[in-house]
A and B are shown apart, each in its own frame.
Chain A
Amino acid sequence: MGSPTGDAEEIQVLTLEAYADTIIPGERRSADDRAIAGVAPGGGAVQAGALEMLNDPATGVTAGLAPLSQTLNAHATAYAAEIGLDLDGTVPPFVSLSYEHRSALIARLVAPGHPEKDGWVLLALFSYMAYDSAAHMHTTDAIAAGHPGLLSMGFGKPDDDGLWRFREHSYGRALARPHPNTTSSGSPA
C-alpha cells in the first residue's frame, strides 16, 4: 500500500477486507498485513473468502461495494476526528483504525436507527456467510479445500456421494416425562 489516494481498487479491497475482518477476525496473512487486524487466531472472514463472496453478483451488493467502502472511510475519518485519533496516511482511514475502533465504528453503523444501516448489515451478512457457510463455493469443495470457517466450526464431512447422513443420531432412550395434558395424537390438549 502506497497512498490511500492511489489505486482506488486497492483502497476498496483493503477497506472491505478490514470490514470483513472486524466481523469475523483472523490472523494476519503476513507481517505487513494492514487490512487484517490480527486479533484472533486462525483464518477469519477474509481468508474464508469474504471478498469473493461480496464480488459475486448473486449477492446483489457488488454495485454498492465502491460507494460503501468510500463512505466507510469517510465515517472513519470523522470518527477519528471526533475522538482525537491520528490516522496513518499510508492506508485507507478505516484500515488505519485499531480493531477496537473499527469495531466501535461498525457498532454505530449497524445500530437500529442508523440511516445507512441496511448497507452495513448486508456487508456484514455476506462477510459472515463467507465464513460460516462458504456460500460462494460448493460446500463439498469448501470442505475438501479446508475452508477455515467450516473447519473451525467442525462442520462434518459428507458421504462419498456428497450427501450427509448421520447413522448414529439418538441417545435411544426416554429422557423426560411427557406433559400430562398431551392428547393421544401427541398434541397439547
Chain B
Amino acid sequence: MTVESTDVLVVGSGFGGAIAAYHLAAGGARVVVLERGPWLSGKDFEHDFLLGSSYTRVFDFVAGDGMSVLSGNCVGGGSVVYFAALPRAPRFTFERHGSIGRRMWPSAINRDTLDPWYDRISEAMVVEQQTWDDVTFAGGLWAAACDHAGRTANPVPVSVDLSKCTNCNWMMAGCRFDAKRSLLFSYIPAAVSHGADIRPLHEVQRIERKDDGSYRVRYTTIDEVDYRVHTGEGAIDAKIIVLAAGAGATPVILKRSEETLGAMPHAVGRYFSGNGERLNTAVLNEDRVRDVLGLSRAGGRIAYEANQIGKGPVVANWDKLDASLPEYGRFSLEQLYFPPGLGTILAQAPGVADPAWFGPAKKRMLEQWKSWLIIFQMTEDDNEGVFGPPPPTGNAFRISQQMLGRGPLSYDPTPNTLSGWAAADAEVKDILERDGLAEVTAWTNDLVGAYTVHPLASCRIGDDPATSALDDRHELRGHPGIFVTDGSAVPGALTVNPALTIGALAERAIPGIVRAARERGVAVDYGAPVPVGVTSTPMTTGVAG
C-alpha cells in the first residue's frame, strides 16, 4: 500500500470540513478531504422513497441505546440533507451551565464575540428571512395557532433560493431544483477551485501519530451502492488533521485511534447532546381550523390538508427563548415536515393505551396524514450521551446497505432533560389543542430512543480540560495538530437549529488552525474572502461514478 502525503487532511465535508478545506486551500495549503458518502448533485436527488435512491444514499440513521441520530452522509454533509434553517443561537445559550454546574462555553465565546463569525457564514450561505408569502400552509397554520393562543411566531431565516423552490418537500433527500443553497454551492466549489482534493466514498478508520509529530490517516473505500462493502484501503500522511465527521462519528474515530494516538481526553465521546430534540405530531380537525383560525384553501372547502406541501421549517415560536426563564425551561417550537419512512412509525395515536405507535388506531391516524402538523422542539438537555467502545469500522455496525446502523451511543435522559421535554410538550398541547384545533401526541422514545437530527457536543470545546475535549481553538487536548470543527465541538444544546453556529465556530477556528499549520512548516496564509456567488449550480467535477 502506497502512502500519500498532504499538508492538511480534512475528515468530512459538512460545515466543519468544507469551511476548513476552503480557507486552508485558499491560503495555499495542500488539502485532501475524505468524505465517506457519495458526491451527488441536483439530478441525483430523486423524488423517490425506494431503497437505494438519494432518500437513503445521503443519510445515516444510527440507533443507539436511548438515542438515535439522523445525519448526512454525502459531500456537503448535513447541508445537503438539512432544511436550511439558519437562526443564530440566542444569547443565553452561551451562558448555560448544563450538567457541569458552571458555564460550559469557553470564556472567550459569547454571542457578541461569535456575531462577527455568524456574519461571515450568513453571507456565504446567503441567509434570508422568509416572507409570509414564502410561508407554507403548515407554517401559516402554526403561526395562526400561536397567534390564537396569544403567542408570537417568526418566519425562520433560511438559506434557500425561494425563487427556485417548488415546495416539493423532498428537501431531506437533497434538492432536485437547486433551490437549497447547500455547501455544494459555496465552500465546496470554492475549496476545489483552490486545489482541494475531495474524495467521496472514503471512510476514515483511524489516525496514527508519526515519529515527527505528524499524523497518518488510514481509510477504507466504500462501495457506492452497498456501504457495507469496503472496496479498498489507503493511508495519507498530513501535518494537520481537521476532524469534521459529525458528532456521531468524530469521537468514534478518535476512540478507535487511542491504540495508536495515545489516550484521548476524558471528554471525547462524552457529554453528547441531542440538542434537546423531540417531536410532536398534531392531527388537525379541519373544521376547527377553518372555524377557529379562519383559514381556508382553494374554494374554501379545505382548511389545511397540506402536510405534504412545502419545505422544512418555515415558522418557529420563540416565546420560551427567554433568558429570565430557568435553565431547562427554555425551548423553541418549530413547524417541521418529516417525511414518511423516517419518522411516521414514531408518531403515536392519540387516546390509545401504550404502545400507540402501531395497530388499528395508528392506521386510522395515518389515514389523516394530510392533516398532520409536526412540531419540532429544541430544548435544553443535560449532555448525558456517552459513546461506548467503537465498532470495527465506521461509526456503526451497518445493517442495511445504506442508511441504517446500530451505534455505540448511550443516552439516559436526566430529570432535567425530561422536565424540558415535558414543558415543551405541554406548550404545544396548550397551543394546538386549544378550542379543539387538534389532538397532539409526542413521538415515542420506546422504540429507537430519543431522536435527534442535530447531534452535538461529543468532543466539545471548553476551558476546563476535565469536561472539554478541545481547547477554545478547537485543538484536541494532548494531541497538537488535530482540530475538531464539526457539531461535536459545540458545547451543548442551543435551543435552535445549530448549523449556523457550527459554521460560525468553524470560521472562528480557522485562524488558529492556519497558525498551527504554519508552525508545522506548512506555507499557508489566512484571509480568503467569504465564498459568495461561487456557483449557481452544484459542483459536479469529481463526482464518482
Chain A residues close to B by CB (< 8 Å)? 22-25, 39-40, 44, 56-61, 103, 106-107, 110-112, 118, 121-122, 124-125, 128-129, 131-140, 142, 149, 152-156, 158, 162-183, 185-189
Chain B residues close to A by CB (< 8 Å)? 47-52, 56, 63, 87-91, 122, 127-129, 132-137, 140-141, 143-144, 146-147, 151-157, 166-170, 176, 226, 228, 295, 297-298, 305-306, 308-310, 315, 318-319, 321, 332, 339-341, 344-345, 354-355, 358-360, 362-364, 366-367, 369-370, 398-402, 404, 406, 446-448, 496
* Cβ contact within 8 Å between A178 and B154: yes
Q: A25 to B155: give the CA distance in the assembly, Å.
A: 39
* Cβ contact within 8 Å between B167 and A112: no
Best-buried of A139, A162, A172, A188 by chain B (most CB within 10 Å): A188
Q: A51 to B516: give the CA distance in the assembly, Å.
A: 56
* Cβ contact within 8 Å between B369 and A170: no
Cβ-closest chain B residue relative to A112? B446
Return the 3 tightest CB-CB contacts between A and B, nearest first: A186-B129, A133-B341, A176-B153
A138 CB to closest chain B CB, in angstroms? Answer: 5
* Cβ contact within 8 Å between B144 and A176: yes
Q: A170 to B306: give the CA distance in the assembly, Å.
A: 10
* Cβ contact within 8 Å between B355 and A121: no
Cβ-closest chain B residue relative to A127? B358
* Cβ contact within 8 Å between B167 and A165: yes
* Cβ contact within 8 Å between B167 and A166: yes
* Cβ contact within 8 Å between A176 and B446: no
Best-buried of A59, A60, A107 by chain B (most CB within 10 Å): A60
B-side contacts of A137, CB under 8 Å: 50
A167 CB to closest chain B CB, in angstroms? Answer: 8
Cβ-closest chain B residue relative to A103? B359
Best-buried of A103, A125, A176 by chain B (most CB within 10 Å): A176
B-side contacts of A131, CB under 8 Å: 366
13 contacts between A and B (CB under 8 A): A39-B360, A57-B401, A59-B400, A61-B399, A103-B359, A132-B366, A133-B340, A135-B341, A154-B305, A154-B367, A168-B298, A171-B137, A176-B147
* Cβ contact within 8 Å between A189 and B90: yes
Q: A138 to B55: give the CA distance in the assembly, Å.
A: 11
A-side contacts of B90, CB under 8 Å: 188-189
Q: A181 to B370: give the CA distance in the assembly, Å.
A: 34
* Cβ contact within 8 Å between A175 and B147: yes
A59 CB to closest chain B CB, in angstroms? Answer: 5
Main secondary structure of the interface of B (DSSP, over half): loop
* Cβ contact within 8 Å between A60 and B398: yes
* Cβ contact within 8 Å between B401 and A164: no
B-side contacts of A60, CB under 8 Å: 228, 398-401, 404
Cβ-closest chain A residue relative to B315? A176
A-side contacts of B169, CB under 8 Å: 164, 166
Using A176-B143, A188-B318 as known contacts, list a sample of 19 further A-B pairs with CB atoms less than 8 Å apart, ordered by residue number in A: A25-B359, A110-B446, A110-B447, A124-B345, A133-B49, A133-B339, A133-B340, A136-B51, A158-B47, A164-B170, A166-B168, A168-B309, A171-B140, A171-B297, A177-B152, A178-B153, A178-B155, A179-B319, A188-B321
* CB-CB under 8 A for A139 and B355, given A125-B345, A154-B370: no
A-side contacts of B367, CB under 8 Å: 152-154
Q: A175 to B359: give the CA distance in the assembly, Å.
A: 37
Please tell me which one of the listed residues A59, A149, A165, A172 contacts residue B166 in the complex, with CB atoms under 8 A apart: A165
Q: A25 to B349: give the CA distance in the assembly, Å.
A: 14
Cβ-closest chain B residue relative to A154? B370
Best-buried of A125, A142, A158 by chain B (most CB within 10 Å): A125
* Cβ contact within 8 Å between A153 and B88: no
Please tell me which one of the listed residues A59, A153, A185 contacts residue B340 in the complex, with CB atoms under 8 A apart: A153
* Cβ contact within 8 Å between B363 and A40: yes
* CB-CB under 8 A for A132 and B340, given A137-B50, A138-B48: yes
* Cβ contact within 8 Å between A163 and B47: yes
* Cβ contact within 8 Å between A163 and B129: no
* Cβ contact within 8 Å between B406 and A118: yes
Q: A162 to B50: give the CA distance in the assembly, Å.
A: 14
Please tell me which one of the listed residues B88, B298, B321 contacts residue A183 in the complex, with CB atoms under 8 A apart: B88
* Cβ contact within 8 Å between B91 and A153: no
* Cβ contact within 8 Å between B295 and A171: yes
Q: A22 to B51: give the CA distance in the assembly, Å.
A: 23
Q: A188 to B332: give the CA distance in the assembly, Å.
A: 10
Q: A165 to B305: give the CA distance in the assembly, Å.
A: 16
Q: A61 to B406: give the CA distance in the assembly, Å.
A: 13
Q: A166 to B402: give the CA distance in the assembly, Å.
A: 29
A-side contacts of B63, CB under 8 Å: 118, 121
Q: A103 to B153: give the CA distance in the assembly, Å.
A: 41
Please tell me which one of the listed residues B47, B133, B151 contacts residue A176 in the complex, with CB atoms under 8 A apart: B151
Q: A72 to B169: give the CA distance in the assembly, Å.
A: 38
* CB-CB under 8 A for A153 and B360, given A139-B50, A165-B168: no
A136 CB to closest chain B CB, in angstroms? Answer: 7
* Cβ contact within 8 Å between B154 and A186: yes
Please tell me which one of the listed residues B226, B306, B363 contacts residue A24 in the complex, with CB atoms under 8 A apart: B363
* Cβ contact within 8 Å between B152 and A178: yes
Q: A92 to B48: give the CA distance in the assembly, Å.
A: 36
Q: A172 to B298: give the CA distance in the assembly, Å.
A: 12
Cβ-closest chain B residue relative to A104? B355
Q: A134 to B339: give the CA distance in the assembly, Å.
A: 12
* CB-CB under 8 A for A170 and B399, given A103-B359, A162-B47, A178-B152: no
Best-buried of A57, A112, A174 by chain B (most CB within 10 Å): A174
B-side contacts of A173, CB under 8 Å: 132, 140
* Cβ contact within 8 Å between B447 and A132: no
A61 CB to closest chain B CB, in angstroms? Answer: 7
Please tell me which one of the listed residues B127, B297, B298 contacts residue A185 in the complex, with CB atoms under 8 A apart: B127
Q: A183 to B154: give the CA distance in the assembly, Å.
A: 11
Q: A170 to B358: give the CA distance in the assembly, Å.
A: 32
